[in-house]
Amino acid sequence: MPDVITGNGRIVLDGDGVVDDVFYSLTISDEPGKVVAEGSISGSEDLLRKVKKAQQATLALEDGPPLALKCVGGRNGVRWVKAIRE
């Protein structure tokens, strides 16, 4: 059974500071490589559009290190993301 982490985190866009809080649900990757976890983030549609358009989006986890995010789909307040090791 894969490890899943959930919680409330903060999104930082392009190094400009905290933008807003989101809920995350991420499955930790078993495979070696840059992708640490995959899953979803939920928040306001306006914020999630900004996350998709940002050159650099970072998710500060509730308990854990900040992770770079790459959007891979979603809509209506949910985005599918990959958390990437920098």
pLDDT of residue 18: 62
Residues 6+ apart with CB under 8 A from 11: 18, 19, 20, 21, 22, 41, 43, 47, 51, 57, 58, 59, 60, 69
Expressed as residue numbers, the domain containing 56 is: 4-84
* pLDDT for residue 32 is more than 70: yes
Question: pLDDT class for 1, splitting at 50, 70, 90?
Answer: low
For residues 45-54, average pLDDT? 89
Provide the CATH number for the domain around residue 53: 2.40.10
Number of structural domains the chain divides into? 1
For residues 12-25, average pLDDT? 83
